Amino acid sequence: MYKWFVTTSLGVEDISGGEIASIANCNPVIDIGKVFFEGGLDVMYRVNYGARTINKLYLLLARDRFKDLNDIYKVAKAIDYTPILRPDKTFAVRCERIGEHPYTSIDIARAVGQAIIDSYMDSKGVRLRVNLDEPDVEIGVFVRFDEVLIGVNTTGYSLHRRKYRVYNHPVALKPTLASVMLRVGGYRGQPLLDPLCGGGTIPIEASHLARKYPIYMFRREYLFTKLPLYDPDLDSRVKEELLNAVNNDVYEIYCMDISATHLRGAMDNAKSAKVIDTITFLLRDAARRDNYRDIEAELIVTNPPYGMRSHSLKKIESFYRSVLTALRDSYCGREMVLITA
Ligand SMILES: C[S@@+](CC[C@H](N)C(=O)[O-])C[C@H]1O[C@@H](n2cnc3c(N)ncnc32)[C@H](O)[C@@H]1O
């Protein structure tokens, strides 16, 4: 059994906890911006390929209390790095810090980096090389008040970068948040509408969910391939299992926007994401009730325009009133999930 934790956007930890519980068949422990759990090595592939609401998966190396920088050095030095770092591989330490400390995140990263070099020198007699730009192995250090957490980043860059986007909407939602919203709404492939779809993030995420497309279909780079514990056979077996579950059924998913540019962008994104055949694109005004007459939606998940950038407060109030009234009149009794930031 290994100890793992994932990082999430703030406020969605319980949703990610539910997702992790079903993927890793475990009892996760929810924390702020993180979810902790235990599981075998297969979890590394399952979570990285299948978890749609999380940012990164870390292998937990140490979790402890500390008083000063020297304590952090000692916690890091006590770890055995030989199972995660080969002598010829480079590493980098990235630190995130919350709370007031008389030292910076850079000081902490430097202390942990030195501890890793010293620990490896003691056990293998080799001085590891640091590469801050493109390390083979990335060690994450999370300091929160008097707690330090050290882990190995198995993911690399955040999983919210799905790598299918060819059109970047100016205020595109993170796909991870789109997935959180779909889980909140209990999406299971029922007819779905995003009346303010922009670049199509929510409809595309819904299509991938319904069709069970694993994330690695589009995003190929993962840091775990550089770890000594990487097992290519297990990786292939998990990939095959996930691919066997894929379906290419057609779902009723409606994507509406008033802007032809954004709608065309959404179509380009859907094409790149291999789901253009299951989404209906509609160039329509979401504030007009007539525009919903031919759409039988059971769930509405959407991300309306927000903030002062494009609308004055008065205009945005009347815009929300007209869109929400049109939706209520058309879909009374149905579920709706919306995010306005
Ligand atoms: C916050 S953005 C949605 C971004 C989208 N979730 C994404 O990830 O790309 C809101 C969208 O609402 C659209 N919109 C604004 N007023 C509209 C209206 N009356 N009817 C339909 N769409 C509208 C805008 O063109 C914009 O693309």
- Write the pLDDT tens digit of every residue in 247-270: 999 999 999 999 999 999 999 999
pLDDT at residue 62, rounded to an integer? 98
How far is the centre of ligand 1, averaged over its atoms, from the C-alpha of 122 (Å)? 58
With 0-12 / 13-18 / 19 or more C-beta atoms within 10 angstroms meaning exposed / middle / buried, residue 208 is buried
Q: At a CB cut-off of 8 Å and minimum separation 6, what does 151 contact?
A: 5, 58, 59, 60, 61, 139, 140, 142
Q: Is the pLDDT of residue 313 over 80?
A: no
Q: Mean pLDDT over residues 7-23, rounded?
A: 98
For ligand 1, atom 17, which residue shows the shortest CA distance?
258
Q: What angle do CA 88, 91, 92 make, to 5 degrees?
A: 165
- Determine how many CB atoms are found less than 10 A away from the CB of residue 146: 13
Sketch the domain layout of the chain as residue ranges.
Answer: 2-153, 175-212+248-338
pLDDT at residue 315, rounded to an integer? 84
Ligand 1 nearest atom to the CA of residue 169, by list position: 9
Model confidence pLDDT, tens digit, residues 87-118: 999 999 999 999 999 999 999 999 999 999 99
Q: At a CB cut-off of 8 Å and minimum separation 6, what does 290 contact?
A: none
Report phi then psi at 46, rounded to 5. Answer: -60, -45
Q: Is the pLDDT of residue 128 over 80?
A: yes
How far is the centre of ligand 1, averaged over its atoms, from the C-alpha of 326 (Å)? 16
Q: Is the pLDDT of residue 314 over 90?
A: no
Quick one: residue 25, left, alpha or beta (phi over 0 = left, psi -120 to 50 = alpha)? left
Q: Mean pLDDT over residues 156-167, rounded?
A: 98
Reduced to 3 states, what is the DSSP secondary structure of residue 136? coil
CATH topology of domain 2-153: VC0802-like (3.30.2130)
Model confidence pLDDT, tens digit, residues 209-259: 999 999 999 999 999 999 999 999 999 999 999 999 999 999 999 999 999
How far is the centre of ligand 1, averaged over its atoms, from the C-alpha of 275 (Å)? 20
Q: Which CATH class is domain 175-212+248-338?
A: alpha beta
Contact 92, 132 (CB under 8 A): yes
Q: What percentage of the chain carries pLDDT values higher than 70? A: 99
Task: Give the integer Cα–Cα distance in Å for 34 and 197.
Answer: 29
Considering only residues 327 and 313, tell me which one the structure prediction assigns the higher pLDDT: 327
